[in-house]
Amino acid sequence: MLKQQLNFKLSQKLSPQQIQLMKLIQLPTQAFEQRIKQELEENPALEDGKEERIDEYDDLGNENSVDDDYDSETIETEIDVDEYLSDDEIPSYRLNANNYSADDEDRQVPYAAGTSFTQHLKTQLSTVRLEETEEEIAEFLVGSVDESGYIRRSVQDIVDDLAFTQNIYTDEETVEKVLKKVQKLDPAGVGARSLEECLLIQLNRKEPTKQVELAKDIMERSFDHFSKKHYTKLLSRHDITEDELREAIEVIEHLNPKPGGAYSGNTRMVEHVIPDFTIKIEDGELQLTLNGRNAPEMHISRDYNNMLKGYKESKEKTKAQKDAVMFIKQKLDAAKWFIEAIKQRQQTLMVTMSSIMNYQKEYFLTGDERNLRPMILKDIADEIEMDVSTVSRVANSKYVDTPYGTKLIKEFFSESMKNDQGEDVSTREIKKILEMSIEEEDKRKPLTDEKLAKVLKDKGYPIARRTVAKYREQLDIPVARLRKEI
């Protein structure tokens, strides 16, 4: 049996303009500039920079805008031409007083230049005496070096690859021989197959002092004990004093475990952080400014206004002209919306960051992370009456320049926990105290997670050992055994 019925359903849909606005809000300064550049290239009705006002005069010499020259007329394409014809005066948002910094000095962004790490190694090969086949093997080995400077494949795998991909038939002994020559290239340690081999290559290039010879002996005979910091076993096996072991360890600690990472001309991207906001302290008060590159000068193209003017003046309106006017309308709508979206983005960024700054005022005045209040996205969203997702977009991708360094905004957000007084404290505050407790510990007898939990409890923060372990890992601090020193 068929039945027909009505159902009422409430749904919320975002318009394409709202979606684009959310994407603009999410962009950090540098990506925002690229987005503006893209829009300028795609929309000829949009122009950047300040516009020189062009005034028109009637026969009586009175100043009139373009709007005053024509009567309102709706054309067959359902476009009100007069709605688009204007003297393009400065938009209202550019007349408002804004607290934006010019930041002209930040406009040039440095880029990484130079040869790649692989090319750097290949250039050095030209100075090494090699037979034709050895040279081909050496180039293949250099091509197998990763960005850290290691060859993370077995010699047998390399022999097989040479045969299958390069038609070079050789054996492990030959590859080992060529590899030894590759390992003599700079930086020292390049071409190693393990951390142990990398450190040994570097030690073999040093002047053979007593400390260096002991360091080599430890690497060759007791690398596992060394890596696990079993110092008692090292003292016994090598029959040395604590002072001798300490001197050998100091030599090893000055070696480079990632020789490729030190090469400035490698092909990895260089991250360049441009702060989106700046917070300064003036006369005991916080001053917030938005990077001026987030407030560009944009206006509608006067040429497009003139096109519409020409269409209105023409007596015979052809289909081609009407199609052109439809295109112009589309581009003008997009340009006007984009300018408005930039304005809304500026307002959203300033309102959100201003709220965060005031919420964490004590921290920004002192720089002490223990003064960070517990703060979640909803706290700010409720205060500024915006959606949590909007606050998240601002926090996750924006940086603020403070008197204490450049910070990612999301770092100011944290959950809360109760201290022994029943007060809400930030988990960031607890992590900072945990970090300080580890810095102050006796490195000969580092504190275990259980003992750290007791230390925090004595300081008024009753948290479990598992929570201590979680926070320690988040701080990238190793376990007690690996923090041990002699």
Residue by residue, DSSP assigns 358-399 as HHTHHHHHH--GGGPPPB-HHHHHHHHT--HHHHHHHHHH-E
Kindly state whether residues 293 and 395 are assigned to the same domain: yes
> How many CA within 13 A on the CB side of residue 273?
12
Kindly state whether residues 222 and 144 are assigned to the same domain: no
Q: Look at residue 456 and tell me if it is in a domain.
A: yes
Residue 326 token pair: 């439809």
pLDDT score at 288? 94
Q: Which residues contact 475 (CB under 8 A, 6 or more apart)?
A: 431, 434, 435
pLDDT score at 214? 92
Q: Look at residue 11 and tell me if it is in a domain.
A: no
Of 154, 187, 220, which residue is a domain's last? Answer: 187
Q: Which residues of 107-131 are buried (b: 16+ CB within 10 A; e: fewer)?
A: eeeeeeeeeebbebbbeebeeeebe
pLDDT score at 58? 37
Kindly state whether residues 81 and 162 are assigned to the same domain: no
Kindly state whether residues 201 and 179 are assigned to the same domain: no
Of 187, 212, 232, which residue is a domain's last? Answer: 187
CA angle 126, 198, 152 (to 5 degrees): 80
pLDDT score at 80? 53
Phi (first) and psi of residue 330, to 5 degrees: -60, -45
Whose tokens are 């003297």? That residue is: 87
Kindly state whether residues 343 and 472 are assigned to the same domain: no
Q: Look at residue 269 and tell me if it is in a domain.
A: no
Tens-level pLDDT at each residue, the chain (486 residues)? 566 666 665 554 556 667 777 888 888 888 888 888 888 888 888 887 765 543 433 333 333 333 333 333 333 344 454 554 444 444 444 434 444 444 444 444 444 445 578 888 888 888 888 888 888 898 899 888 888 889 988 899 999 988 888 888 989 999 999 999 999 998 888 999 999 999 999 999 998 899 999 999 999 999 888 888 888 898 989 998 988 998 998 898 888 888 887 664 444 444 567 899 999 999 889 999 999 888 888 888 787 767 777 766 666 667 777 777 788 888 888 888 888 888 999 999 999 999 999 999 999 999 887 788 888 888 899 999 998 888 988 888 899 999 988 999 988 887 767 776 766 677 777 888 888 888 888 888 888 989 898 888 888 888 888 888 888 888 888 888 878 777
Kindly state whether residues 205 and 240 are assigned to the same domain: yes
User: pTM to 2 decimals?
Assistant: 0.52
Q: Look at residue 5 and tell me if it is in a domain.
A: no
Q: Which residues of 320-340 are buried (b: 16+ CB within 10 A; e: fewer)?
A: ebeebbeebbebbebbeebbe
* Residues in a beta bridge with 290: 100, 277
Chain center to CA of 152:
28
Residue 318: domain span:
17-48+64-106+274-413
Helices 388-397 and 16-26 pack at an angle, to 10 degrees, of: 40
Residue 149 token pair: 């400077």
d(CA 61, CA 70): 17
Residue 351 token pair: 């309102």
Kindly state whether residues 121 and 200 are assigned to the same domain: no
Q: Look at residue 264 and tell me if it is in a domain.
A: no
DSSP secondary structure code for residue 114 in this structure: S
Q: Look at residue 53 and tell me if it is in a domain.
A: no
Pick from 115, 146, 135: nearest CA to 182:
135
Q: Look at residue 90 and tell me if it is in a domain.
A: yes
Kindly state whether residues 315 and 405 are assigned to the same domain: yes
Query: What is the count of structural domains for the chain?
Result: 4
Of 413, 441, 467, which residue is a domain's last? Answer: 413
Kindly state whether residues 177 and 297 are assigned to the same domain: no
Q: Look at residue 147 and tell me if it is in a domain.
A: yes
pLDDT score at 382? 92
